[in-house]
Structure 1
Amino acid sequence: MNKSTIWKNYRFPIILLSGITIGAVLGIVLGEKAKVLAPLGDIFLNLMFTIVVPMVFVSIASAVGNMVNMKRLGRIMGSLVTVFVVTGAIAGVLVLVVVNVFPPAAGTSIQFASAEMEEMSSVGDMIVGALTVDDFSGLMSRRNMLPIIVFAILSGFCVSACGGEESPVGKLLNNLNTIIMKIVSIIMMYAPIGLGAYFASLVGEFGPGLIGDYGHAMLVYYPMCLFYFFTAFPAYAYFAGGKEGVSRMFKHILNPAVTAFATQSSIAALPVNAEACDRIGVPKDIRDIVLPMGATMHMDGSVLSAIVKISFLFGIFNQSFTGVGTYAMAMAVAVLSAFVLSGAPGGGLVGEMLIVSLFGFPAEAFPLIATIGFLVDPAATCLNASGDTIASMMVTRMVEGKDWLNRRIKKEEEMTPEAPGLERA
């Protein structure tokens, strides 16, 4: 591709990365003084968090409400669960191999900080809290994403049963969905400034000393994430849409990946993910179901980080991280913390407490992995969020057949016959 084509295809990611890079440099140069820029970043995050709850509810409710054939909904949900579980298992096997070859605790000399473990909730309470709220007002908070999704699916099913997209409520939901996505596009115009300021403040506050004694664990985790991004993701995209699927994935994955890395929030990256899926060619009904559920349940990056944390604690306490039983327990805890607890308020910390409790580590172990959780969160969230886009492609392939992307391309060419060389959305 020539320079003009590259600029046309990757203009926004380039601007976004430039803003973040400039922010990081300002953070290094200004040090703690860079925290004065924090409000500019907070404004962007607040705008994204404000729009995400109505976006999730309206997109899911309208997608389900527009479905006349409930069998399609069943196929989407079944394919979604399959993709989430299989990709999570692949991530788990990869990290088990990596931490045995490169132990993340090697070379560390960590002083324990005292910490008092919070009382663990029962499994029943966790399930109830993750899926429901005790008051309607709780559905208006981004901290209750799974209950919002459950209520949106129920609402959409009832809309479909009472007239679908031709009913007054169905038309309202579809119109609201269009309006909300327009709001998102306006907010994203501010993203390079907002994320640049956010990164400047972050780097200025923590600086190069952010890594400290955890450097070896980071040297294990971050290259592993890059390996997963550039090997597993293209393989998934190839399964979804062949060579064209891989091409479109790399062409449109940068926006959600960069946004998730900078904000450390899969929820904040939801609107950008929706735009990426639309440009790739994922059907709207699949996109509007897979992405919101993926933001709370599809956590390949979190599976990777959970097992790194477990292996790190084994090394710190001079225990051998080997054996089928140990690996099985590590996989189970990683999947539980990534797929279930991530949907509950404070799910990350609860997952870390679960690791400490189930493996019998002392309370002092909690701040150790809580710190690791903070350090690996940008890369983990990047994989979590960008993986949702690829998951939506895989679900489309399973629901609509392996030639879905070819049909999409043919449709695009029929819509723009006079300019076949133009970028296809």
Structure 2
Amino acid sequence: MFAKYRSVSLIVRILIGLVIGALLAVIVPSWSGIGLLGELFVGALKGIAPVMVFFLIMSAVSGYKSGGENHFGTVIVLYLSATLLSAFAAVGASYLFPVKLVLPKAAAVAAAPKSLSKVLSDLLTNAVGNPLSAIVNANYLSILFWALMIGFALRLTSKETRKVITEISGAITHVAQLVIELAPFGIAGLVYTTISETGFGGIAQYGKLVVLLVGTMTFVYLVVYPLMTFAYTRQNPFPLTFWTLKRSGIPAFFTRSSAVNIPINLQACEDLGLNKESYSVSIPLGGSANSGGAAITVSVMTLAACATLGIQVSFPLAFILCVLTALAATGASGIAGGSLLIIPMAASLFGISNDVAMQVVGVGFVIGVIQDSVETAVNSASDLLFTATAEYADARKKGHPVDISAAIRRAEGKADPAVAANAPATK
């Protein structure tokens, strides 16, 4: 039965779960057991994600081969450029379509940093925190730091020791993949809870802000990122753009966590036939380093607060905002809502008090059902997009261009068990 269940595309199963959850929320809004499915799903993903990221990076670094074709330089440039360009796009959209907020009287959310020096200090302090505590609390900066340190140290050990770490990493990833296979049930529960508690019009009063955020993220992913891909590969970027959005963006939209979407991206890279030495590190790394969606959220929300308070934003200050948000976004947590607590720091550039800034953060949590979902979809799908782009670009430079459309067709056959089962043996 499970094999038959898996023979249906994961995307199709997710959409079916979405519809069923919405229908049940309308028909029987008091069935708490349905909502429990969503809580169990998210809890399982959040539980396995920090452990998985730690072992994935540690294993990949310990098995790193000097002189190999790892494409790290190209990947990092793409990640950082995309985050900065996303911030510029958000500022431009906010100038063209200014939005004012209806701020609540109070916002009961956690404290957040207000200055750049405080952000940098917190980043460095968190990075060297206790590794066990980092895994428990999902502190991905600390997880990344210690996984890299231990991974490099493991390179001095025997081949057998490194093999054990690799096998443990594979086992943990397999567990995460099994959890993701049950995503339709969890998503049905999440959608049920959202609709039964807030209704379909729960965020209607913030409609303009949602449209601006989603519109900017859509523009960035469908215009800015394809232009970057074309500049590197010199091929039509849209087949790869849409494929990554379908394969990675849709699941990430519902899980609302780039970290827990890592197994899906790793499998997609394998289906594309990419270099495992490269994507086994670049995909987990992208959960923090590639945060274009977070940069958009912080920039738009900050400028919306300025418009609400009647603060005039000069172009030089807007430029500083772009650089600041791009820098801070790379340190945003890889879990749901991780970017919102950067807003007070950005707002401090314009003299906005922390009390008002935290009210803006409160608005962010209200619209998070859509904003955070789209933001995560952009972040996670672009991890996959830029990892593939970097490898194809390096292959083109060496005179061995890859037919991207053909690679996607082969990947589609591998991703769909029904297609793969009926594929000719020559493929």
Both structures adopt the same fold (TM-score exceeding 0.5): yes
Matched, 1:168 2:164: no
Measure, in 2, the Cα distance between the counterparts of 1:91 and 1:172.
40
Give the match's secondary structure for 1:364.
helix
Deviation of 1:190 (Å): 0.8
1:18-417 alignment to 2 at 5 Å?
18-31=16-29, 33=30, 35-69=32-66, 76=72, 78-105=73-100, 109-110=102-103, 112-113=105-106, 118=111, 120=113, 122-123=118-119, 125-133=121-129, 135-141=130-136, 143-163=138-158, 167-239=159-231, 241=233, 243=235, 246-321=238-313, 323-342=314-333, 348-362=339-353, 363-375=355-367, 376-402=371-397, 403=400, 405-406=402-403
Structure 1 residues 397 and 424: CA distance shift in structure 2, 3 A: farther
CA contact (8 A) 2:217 2:293 kept: yes
Deviation of 1:126 (Å): 0.5
Provide the residue aligned with 1:5 in structure 2.
Answer: none
Deviation of 1:183 (Å): 2.2
Deviation of 1:129 (Å): 3.0
Measure, in 2, the Cα distance between the counterparts of 1:423 and 1:301.
41
Structure 1 residues 347 and 285: CA distance shift in structure 2, 3 A: same
Measure, in 1, the Cα distance between the counterparts of 2:323 and 2:10.
39
Where does the alignment leave 5 or more consecutive residues of structure 1 unmatched? 1-7
Measure, in 2, the Cα distance between the counterparts of 1:175 and 1:109.
52
Structure 1 residues 267 and 314: CA distance shift in structure 2, 3 A: same
Q: Which amino acid in structure 1 is aligned with residue 196 of structure 2? A: G
**RMSD (CA atoms):** 3.5
Provide the residue aligned with 1:4 in structure 2.
Answer: none
Deviation of 1:369 (Å): 3.4
Measure, in 2, the Cα distance between the counterparts of 1:88 and 1:172.
36
Q: Which amino acid in structure 2 is aligned with residue 53 of structure 1? A: P
Deviations 1:145-173 (A, max 9, x none): 1211222222222233334xxx1111112
Q: Which amino acid in structure 2 is aligned with residue 172 of structure 1? A: V
Deviation of 1:318 (Å): 1.6
Measure, in 2, the Cα distance between the counterparts of 1:307 and 1:259.
25
Provide the residue aligned with 2:3 in structure 1.
Answer: none
Q: Percent identity?
A: 19
Structure 1 residues 246 and 118: CA distance shift in structure 2, 3 A: closer
Q: Which amino acid in structure 2 is aligned with residue 130 of structure 1? A: N
CA contact (8 A) 1:55 1:177 kept: yes
Structure 1 residues 46 and 242: CA distance shift in structure 2, 3 A: farther
Deviation of 1:424 (Å): 11
Measure, in 1, the Cα distance between the counterparts of 2:347 and 2:153.
43
CA contact (8 A) 1:63 1:289 kept: yes
Deviations 1:252-283 (A, max 9, x none): 54242122211221112111121122222221
Measure, in 1, the Cα distance between the counterparts of 2:401 and 2:282.
17
Give the match's secondary structure for 1:161.
coil
Deviations 1:87-107 (A, max 9, x none): 1122122222211111122xx
After alignment, is 347-356 or 189-198 more displaced? 347-356
Deviation of 1:45 (Å): 1.6
Provide the residue aligned with 1:3 in structure 2.
Answer: none
Q: Which amino acid in structure 1 is aligned with residue 76 of structure 2? A: V
CA contact (8 A) 1:10 1:251 kept: no
Provide the residue aligned with 1:13 in structure 2.
Answer: 11
Deviations 1:63-112 (A, max 9, x none): 22222216756x51x3333111211122122222211111122xx55454
After alignment, is 194-203 or 124-133 more displaced? 124-133
Measure, in 1, the Cα distance between the counterparts of 2:112 and 2:246.
40
Deviation of 1:368 (Å): 2.4
Measure, in 1, the Cα distance between the counterparts of 2:260 and 2:281.
16
Measure, in 2, the Cα distance between the counterparts of 1:183 and 1:300.
29
Query: Normalising to structure 1: TM-score of the pair?
Result: 0.83
Q: Which amino acid in structure 2 is aligned with residue 40 of structure 1? A: L
CA contact (8 A) 1:300 1:383 kept: yes
After alignment, is 261-270 or 391-400 more displaced? 391-400
Measure, in 1, the Cα distance between the counterparts of 2:261 and 2:98.
32
